[in-house]
Chains A and B, each alone.
Chain A
Amino acid sequence: MTLARDVRGMLAVAAVGVLFMLVAPSVLELFTIINLTTAIALAVLALSLALIWGYGGILCFGQNAFFGIGAYAYTIAAINFGGSSWAILVAILVAVAFAVIIGYVMFYGRVSDVYLAVITLTVSLILYSLIRRTSGPDYKIGKSLLGGFNGITSPPINLPWDSSFVLFPEHVFYVAMGGLILAYLFTSWLTRTHFGRVCVSIRENELRAELLGYDVRFYKLAIFAVGAGIAGLAGVLFCNGVGRVTPDVFNLYTSALTIIWVIVGGRGTLIGPILGAFGLFYLTSALGTQSTVNNNLVLGIILVVFVLGVPKGVIPTVADWIAARRSRRALRVRERRMRMRRTRGGSGAGVGAGRGSPDGTGAAARASE
């Protein structure tokens, strides 16, 4: 019953996404659509962290490392291959392979949560400073220069069967939106599988999962790698939206922002962080056009407000609120029915029902907490 409602919710979200994908290009301006593509790419990045942190319980502070690796790998591969299709696959695989390597060290070495956050952040920052130093003709992979802090111009996606037919920005929007919807459906499905539930159980209690016979290290590594693959895909979409990739994908600002999307949107949901990424993307671009308040200051304030005031994030808080309302209403209906029965029924039954009602109230109130 609850599962069915769950699945319906997931399909509804996907349907809204598809509708938006079909309608948006005909009602919005091209500039807005191009901007949206970037926001969508960031939403996919948020989704990847929603999966591994919100469901896997792995606080990866450097999720953008895989995002950046995806963007760079795509760009370099697309330049060398002269086409995008294999480059997309390469980008995702490189991100996954990188995650498997550092994940193996961290999870099989049983590194604690705090160190894991520090290590992943450090990895991201190391990549940032390394890639910034690659200016000049000496630094190249195949035909592609790495470009140092200027980055590389990313070849746009082309049709899979015709590499000379390059997609226009409005078409890239479709690709990005399609990517987001598929990634959302995939992660929603994954979190409902046995594998996904084991990951959630590890988040809840690692020792218990281990004592039940699950190899915690393997599950963590696996979900970490899947998250990295999705972040890699986000990187591909991002460099297509922006048109180039620069070392900034690895910087501290991007790391922090990714965490903030998930905190604001809500851990333990997938749609929350997606909406969080969209919301903050538009907030920061709105703030970017003015100069009275500092952008980072606003983000900092948002973070503090959420951590202190809405620690669960927007979506879980709203969901709790709706659930509480629903159970209150169910309770009222039950009470009304009870009262009706009492007025209709004999006095003996009436006393019984009357005594039963306070108990019922207590239980339901507890359940709705």
Chain B
Amino acid sequence: MRQGEVVLETRGLSMHFGGVRAVDRVDFALYENELRCLIGPNGAGKSTFFKCLTGQLRPTAGSVVIRDIHVTEREPFEVAALGVGIKTQVPNVFEGLAVEENIWLSARRWHVPARARSLTAETLERLRLGDIRTSPVGRLAHGQRQWVELGMVVAAEPWLVLLDEPAAGMTHEETVRTAELIREINRTATLIVVEHDMQFIRMISHLVTVFHEGRILMEDTMEAISADSRAREVYLGHRA
């Protein structure tokens, strides 16, 4: 699994909010074509970690390097321009716009009109959003909104994809479909997926990083983590 080049690396990455150390001196490395899962209890700092990676937050200390480029001080749109797609924990979509326009706005950012149109059509089909393509996203059910956001990420054809709880609030079937989709994305892209659902993680991932109180507790396969007493303790109350 650990082969090829490191495409994303953080060194001593810290994000403090007043006294809260949401992310605390994290050294993290992601290899090309990996599908990494990030788990950890509520408030472990997973989302904050993602925000630091994508320029949404300026880290208090440390650095983020994506493909040899220092992005620590960059704006989110500049990080996106490197080919990084992110799905946020709380869905960020264009509520008042139709599903297809949401997707089109993503595809059109990087492509000429004709290609953007065909890419939009492809993405709608791939995510099975064809039937609702003219509905405003604000009227959709939660699971569908998640997929619209996923569609926006996919339509940009990123090579690095960060997904923050992509299956949250989904039915079992939707979750299975999302897992399929993530594996499909992984054929052409490197991914980090934050999830709480252990079943889901078993479906998709090999290597899992456990966050706890802003730090990396351990990094191993799901089997090893399930067997580990520290990890179980941290996750007490969660399905493991």
Binding site for B on A (CB under 8 A): 2, 194, 197-198, 200-201, 204-205, 207-216, 366-367, 369
In the bound complex, do residue B77 and residue A215 qualify as a contact, i.e. CB atoms below 8 Å apart? yes
Q: For the complex, what is the distance from the CA of A200 to the CA of B113, rounded to whole Å?
A: 18
Among B80, B95, B139, which residue has the most Cβ atoms of chain A within 10 A?
Answer: B80
Find the A residue at minimum CB distance from B158. Answer: A213
In the bound complex, do residue B77 and residue A214 qualify as a contact, i.e. CB atoms below 8 Å apart? yes
| B121 in contact (CB, < 8 A) | no
Closest CB of chain B to A176's CB: distance in Å? 33
Per a CB cutoff under 8 Å, which of B75, B94, B134 touches A2? B134
A-B contact count (CB 8 A): 65
Which stretch (B101-109, B166-174, B187-195, B229-237) binds chain A?
Answer: B101-109
Per a CB cutoff under 8 Å, which of A2, A204, A213, A366 touches B109? A213
Q: For the complex, what is the distance from the CA of A215 to the CA of B109, rounded to whole Å?
A: 11
Q: For the complex, what is the distance from the CA of A210 to the CA of B92, rounded to whole Å?
A: 11
Q: For the complex, what is the distance from the CA of A216 to the CA of B77, rounded to whole Å?
A: 8
| B15 in contact (CB, < 8 A) | no
Residues of A near B152 (CB, < 8 A) are: 208, 212
Known: A211-B80, A212-B152, A213-B81. A205 touches B54 (CB 8 A): no
Residues of B near A194 (CB, < 8 A) are: 108, 113
| B12 in contact (CB, < 8 A) | no
In the bound complex, do residue B88 and residue A201 qualify as a contact, i.e. CB atoms below 8 Å apart? no
| B130 in contact (CB, < 8 A) | no
- Enumerate B90-145 residues with CB–CB distance to A below 8 Å: 92-97, 101, 104-106, 108-110, 113, 134-135, 139
Residues of B near A216 (CB, < 8 A) are: 77
| B156 in contact (CB, < 8 A) | yes
In the bound complex, do residue B88 and residue A211 qualify as a contact, i.e. CB atoms below 8 Å apart? yes
Among A2, A197, A205, A369, which residue has the most Cβ atoms of chain B within 10 A?
Answer: A205
Q: For the complex, what is the distance from the CA of A366 to the CA of B139, rounded to whole Å?
A: 9
Find the A residue at minimum CB distance from B82. Answer: A213
In the bound complex, do residue A211 and residue B105 qualify as a contact, i.e. CB atoms below 8 Å apart? no
Q: How big is chain B's contact interface, by range?
A: 20 to 34
Residues of A near B110 (CB, < 8 A) are: 213
In the bound complex, do residue A204 and residue B81 qualify as a contact, i.e. CB atoms below 8 Å apart? no
Binding site for A on B (CB under 8 A): 54, 56, 75-77, 80-81, 85-86, 88, 92-97, 101, 104-106, 108-110, 113, 134-135, 139, 149, 152, 156
Q: For the complex, what is the distance from the CA of A211 to the CA of B91, rounded to whole Å?
A: 12
User: Which 4 interchain pairs have the tightest Cβ spacing?
Assistant: A213-B80, A204-B94, A208-B92, A210-B76
Find the B residue at minimum CB distance from A369. Answer: B139
Q: For the complex, what is the distance from the CA of A201 to the CA of B107, rounded to whole Å?
A: 14
Q: For the complex, what is the distance from the CA of A214 to the CA of B79, rounded to whole Å?
A: 11
Q: For the complex, what is the distance from the CA of A209 to the CA of B109, rounded to whole Å?
A: 10
Residues of B near A208 (CB, < 8 A) are: 92-94, 149, 152
Residues of A near B105 (CB, < 8 A) are: 197-198, 201, 209, 212
Q: For the complex, what is the distance from the CA of A2 to the CA of B133, rounded to whole Å?
A: 13
Interface CB pairs A-B, < 8 A, 5: A205-B95, A210-B75, A211-B85, A212-B106, A212-B109
Q: For the complex, what is the distance from the CA of A210 to the CA of B84, rounded to whole Å?
A: 12
Residues of A near B96 (CB, < 8 A) are: 204
Closest CB of chain A to B143's CB: distance in Å? 16
Residues of A near B86 (CB, < 8 A) are: 211
Residues of B near A207 (CB, < 8 A) are: 56, 76, 88, 92
Per a CB cutoff under 8 Å, which of B76, B81, B93, B135 touches A367? B135
Closest CB of chain A to B111's CB: distance in Å? 11
In the bound complex, do residue A204 and residue B95 qualify as a contact, i.e. CB atoms below 8 Å apart? yes
Known: A211-B80, A213-B156, A216-B77. A205 touches B92 (CB 8 A): yes
Residues of A near B94 (CB, < 8 A) are: 200-201, 204-205, 208-209
In the bound complex, do residue B109 and residue A214 qualify as a contact, i.e. CB atoms below 8 Å apart? yes
Residues of A near B97 (CB, < 8 A) are: 200-201, 204
Find the B residue at minimum CB distance from A208. Answer: B92
Residues of B near A201 (CB, < 8 A) are: 94, 97, 105
Residues of B near A209 (CB, < 8 A) are: 94, 105
